[in-house]
Every structure is written in C-alpha cells, then in structure tokens.
Chain A
C-alpha cells in the first residue's frame, strides 16, 4: 500500500517525535512515581516554559542556549510550587492535590493569556529549515537535535536517580514514604526536588520543541494526554520505561496516522493504552510496582 521508503521515513519521524513525547512524560512519570499524584498542571508548565524560550529568543538567545538557563530556573520554580503551594494546600490528600494542580493549570494558562494574548507565535531560527538528506527522505536538523537531546536528558535523569544521594532519597521516598522519613529523609524536600526535576524536563522539552513548533497559551494541552499514555505504557514511575514508551508511541502514532489517517490514527494510541491497562497495568516495560 505504501512504498517501503515512506514507511521507513514515517518510522524515523515517529522516533523523533516520540523522543520529545518521552521527555514530557519523564517528568510526569517521576512525579507520579514519587508523589503518587496525577499532575494536571503538567501541560500548563510546558506552555509556560515554551513562552520563556520564546521570549529568550526575542532577546536574542537561541533556544539551544537558553535551555541551560531555563532548566535550572524551571527546576527552582517547580521546587517552589510543590514546596510552598501544592504541598501545604493539599494536606497530602490525593484528591486535593488533583484539584490544586488543576487550579494551578487554570491560573498559569490564563495568566499567560492575559499577559501575552492568544496569538500563535513561532520563531524562525536560522537552522529551522536545515535538513539531512538521507536519499529517500529529509531529516529536519532541529528534530534530530531534539531526538538526541531528549535521549540524553532522560539518561542524565536516570543517572541522577541511580547514582546520587538525592536520587537515592527520591527512590526511597517513592518506595516507602514512612520508612524514608524515619531514617531522616526530609520527605517534603524530596517531593519538591522531584517536582522540580519534572519541571526542568519540561523546560528542556520546550526549548527542543520551539524551533519546529509554535506557542500560544494553551499549547501544552496537546501534549498532556499523550504523556499520560506514555507514563502508563512505560510503567508509572519508570524513567527508562517512559523513554521507551515515548519512542513506541511516537512510532505507533506515525504509522497509524499513515494507515488510518491522522484523525482516526489517534485512536490507535488510546486503544493500545486501554489494552495495556486492562491486560498488563504495570506497563509494557515496567517492573511490578
């Protein structure tokens, strides 16, 4: 039905899109794994990061440079948000965390709307149209960069979790909150660090997306559902799972888009999602939770 080179090109496209999905999902899965909450403010934070990257570019800073400033800034913002807003106001109850993050997403989205209006803005970076010629298809340079950087960011995050003391504390809290606090781990601090890491991942994703995408006050919403899907596929709380899940979803979306059409193709993602949940709720790549 399709020539092999088209299918191959679609797979490559899917991998590149999937890597960025993975990065947005890594933040979500981390927050889920540790705090056991579904963060509704995820999309809004991504939007905020994209606006930050956009205005950085406006004052002459390339997104690939801005990322080194924005990642720490968003880490700090995420830390503060969890430590001083979400944590205290939710009293540790899941349903309240849900509402607080929902409230925050409404606040962030609409403050952005009030401040910057609803125009769809994009940036025209000099490398925006550079391509690598593979013969059968052209690979867009910014997307290849996004692919590589996303994988690298996920690897760094995984190293942080595996090797550093903070990482160990995070994993301890994720496994056994009470026990961790008994051995002297500051749980509130660990929660905030985790949320900060999640926000930093979004900042990186934002800088990688902007050269080929656009930004408006609701843009992050487009990435929320797909990020949830990846979190489940990869096993909630698993960073390598999120990376694999992201790549997998990217390819599935790309191929089902090719064969079913882009609109109906979205169904492919959700059907896989439902099937995985029903048959193997710990995720395709996850260990037992």
Chain B
C-alpha cells in the first residue's frame, strides 16, 4: 500500500518522469517495494515427480530472469517472490496447496501439470477469484467450465489433435503421399485414449487406413506384444501417444525387432521430443517425429535457457518452456495491472496480447480462458538433435520423410 500512496503523491508528474526520478535516486534512499507473491504448483513427489521437477525449473528461471531485469516496473521494481506448493501428484494435493497459497496471499498461481490436478486446483482457486495459469493440463474440460480465473496458455487437446492431423496430411502430401496405412499405439489414460478415438474417426476421412489400435497401461512392463502386432500389420506409419517410459520401451523393442515403418509420427509423446531419450538411445530415436509443445527454436532466450540447462546436466523439456512462458505471461499481466490485486490481474490476463514468451505461438489471446494463439509444432529427431520441421515459420530443419530404409 505504501507504493500506492507514493504514486498518488507524485500523480501530478508524468508517470515517465516519476519513474525516471525513482531510478535516478540513490539505491539506499529508495524504499524497497513490497514483493509480489506468486504461487507455483507442481507435482515434485509421487508419480509425476519428473514432470513437476521440470516445470519448477522453468518457473524458477523465469522468476529469476524477471527479477534480474528489474522486477515489476509499474510497481516500482517490485520483485516476484515464489511461494511453492508440491501437489504430490494428486488432485487433493492440488486443492490443499491452492488453499495454503491463497492463505499466503499469492496474487496468482501458475502450474498444475496433469489434467486431474489442474481441474481440482483451478476450481479451488476460483473460490478466491485467484488467477490461475494452467501450464500443461491438456483436458479441454479445464477451460470449458466457465471459471473466470482460469487461463491456459498452452494448446489443449482439441487444438493439438486438429493441428497434428492437419500437419500430418501436409507432411505426407509434400512427400508424395508415401503413407496410406496406420497403426495407432496409445496409453490408456485420458490423453492417449481420447486421442486414439479422435484419430480413428478422422484419419479415414483424410485417406489413411487405420489397420489397428493398440492400447497399453502406464506403467507397462513390456511392449513386446505391441511390437509384434505392429510387425504383423506392417503399417506405413505408426502413431504412438505414450508417456516417457513406455515409448522408450516401444522404440527400443521396435529397433530390436527390426520394425522400420516409413515414419513414426508421435502425438503429445512423453519421449519423442525429450533430449534424455535422444541422448540415451540415439539409434532408436533417430527420425522419430512428434507433434507436441515445444519452444521456439529461433528465440534467443530459449536457446540461452537450453545452454544453461545443458551446462547443468539438466534437460530442456517442453514443461520448462511452458512454465517459463507462463510466469512471463503472468508478470506481464501484473505489470499492466500495476497492482498485485487478483481481480485486476484477471482483467489484465483477459486482454493480454503478450508475445515475449519463448513458445512458437505469436501474440496471446484468451477466449474463454484458452489461448487461441497457441499451437503445437512438429519436431523430428535428426542426427541426435531435436529439430522443428513444421510449420515452416518456426522450422529449423526439413522433414526426413519417408524415413530411408
């Protein structure tokens, strides 16, 4: 509140002059503005611990970067202060941590990762009109419930699948339609099953024949049978949507069983655009395509982050990029709201056109809480690196398709 009074006393001056005046003052005379508390929610223990850990890395880096660049300027350089909550990979954990963070007077929350957690957490936050930026949570139910406080920066299920199909057709057409038959492999959870259902309906309309749909549980102890069936069906294209461990098993088994389709086109895959997989099993990973969240490979900040993480022996996964961008988006909203007030931040998010993020999205535009500027991109593992191959506007490599036998 001290900030407000100092600002109003100076209101006769033009804002710019006032700001310049503040900057010109010697540091020890300047009152340190109260920091703005933001909540970061991630599952760093339990089944989703790896993803939570990655998301946290992204959020922490963004907060550090914002503070290093002078904090929130409209609040006199107020620093962002992180209040972290471990949601334990459960929806109850999500609710509990939102309650705790709300009690600690955070101005907004970023994170959640899994859809069930995001559903519970956004609902709990809505009781306090606490702005909530969903980092990943692909279920479209998250934004379809009419919660005014909920914003999803990344594309949801609907956008990703529509885009994945469209891109597949374009990539296949550009190569002279080498693929006609498809086998779908999917995990039996929310995203895998939903995706498979949609693809089964949509692929035939686009001239592909779905030879088989193979589902598997997570965790799966063995993928040999799936590989066997793929081998028997001998499809041109395999479309897998699985989490990390299962896709690694599948790719390794396929390599072992000498199964070489014309392409592996993964969608929202846990491993196909993961540097760890590429590093540990370069041969199994080579030429695998994925339609997924990914950072903008031409963005200087993104490349700097990658360099920093590489140096620390950590991996730059999409959740790092999404949480980094989510925090930047929030900081921009706080900047424009010029207030840590929750309602004002929500209003600022609603009108956000933020484009300084590190995703290949363009300006942000929220419609009913969904960023309609968001879209997945297509990546491909090429020579031990992960390249963006589509859309052309963000691509840093050309698709290798069909994969040479």
Hey, which chain B residues are within 8 Å of A121, CB to CB?
Answer: 280
- Cα of A223 to Cα of B45 in the assembled complex, Å: 20
- Do B219 and A138 touch across chains, with their CB atoms under 8 A apart? no
| A164 close to chain B: CB less than 8 A | no
**Contact digits for B12-49, partner A, Cβ 8 Å, 1 yes 0 no:** 00000000000000000000000000000000111101
Partner of A262, one of B45, B52, B53, B217: B217
Chain A min CB distance to B134 (Å)? 21
- Cα of A254 to Cα of B248 in the assembled complex, Å: 19
- Do A222 and B221 touch across chains, with their CB atoms under 8 A apart? yes
* CB-nearest residue of chain B to A130: B256
**Contact digits for B236-252, partner A, Cβ 8 Å, 1 yes 0 no:** 00000000110011001
Which of B44, B220, B228 is most buried by chain A, counting CB atoms within 10 A of its CB?
B228
- Do B216 and A124 touch across chains, with their CB atoms under 8 A apart? no
- Cα of A61 to Cα of B359 in the assembled complex, Å: 42
Where the two chains meet, the residues of B that have a C-beta atom closer than 8 Å to any C-beta of A are: 44-47, 49-50, 52-53, 188, 214-217, 219-222, 224-226, 228-229, 232, 244-245, 248-249, 252-253, 255-258, 276, 280-281, 283
Hey, which chain B residues are within 8 Å of A219, CB to CB?
Answer: 219
- Do B47 and A13 touch across chains, with their CB atoms under 8 A apart? no
Hey, which chain B residues are within 8 Å of A131, CB to CB?
Answer: 256-257
Of all A-B residue pairs in the complex, the 10 with the closest CB atoms, nearest first, are A118-B49, A262-B216, A263-B188, A118-B50, A13-B224, A222-B219, A263-B215, A257-B225, A17-B222, A263-B217
Given A122-B280, A254-B225, A262-B215, are A2 and B45 also a contact pair (CB < 8 Å)? no
- Do A262 and B50 touch across chains, with their CB atoms under 8 A apart? no
Hey, which chain B residues are within 8 Å of A84, CB to CB?
Answer: none
User: What is the size category of the interface that chain A forms with chain B?
Assistant: 35 or more
- Do A262 and B214 touch across chains, with their CB atoms under 8 A apart? yes
Hey, which chain B residues are within 8 Å of A285, CB to CB?
Answer: none
Given A17-B221, A17-B222, A113-B45, are A120 and B248 also a contact pair (CB < 8 Å)? yes
Hey, which chain A residues are within 8 Å of B226, CB to CB?
Answer: 262
- Do A13 and B228 touch across chains, with their CB atoms under 8 A apart? yes
| A266 close to chain B: CB less than 8 A | yes
- Do A13 and B49 touch across chains, with their CB atoms under 8 A apart? no
List which A68-122 residues lie within 8 A (CB) of chain B.
Answer: 110, 113, 117-122
- Do B256 and A129 touch across chains, with their CB atoms under 8 A apart? yes
Q: Can you add 9 more A-B contacts, CB < 8 Å, to A13-B225, A17-B221, A129-B256?
A: A9-B228, A13-B224, A17-B224, A214-B249, A221-B219, A254-B225, A257-B225, A258-B225, A258-B229
- Do A137 and B228 touch across chains, with their CB atoms under 8 A apart? yes
- Do B249 and A120 touch across chains, with their CB atoms under 8 A apart? no
Hey, which chain A residues are within 8 Å of B276, CB to CB?
Answer: 119-120
Hey, which chain A residues are within 8 Å of B216, CB to CB?
Answer: 261-263
**Contact digits for A1-33, partner B, Cβ 8 Å, 1 yes 0 no:** 011001001100100010000000000000000
- Cα of A264 to Cα of B281 in the assembled complex, Å: 30
Chain B min CB distance to A257 (Å)? 5
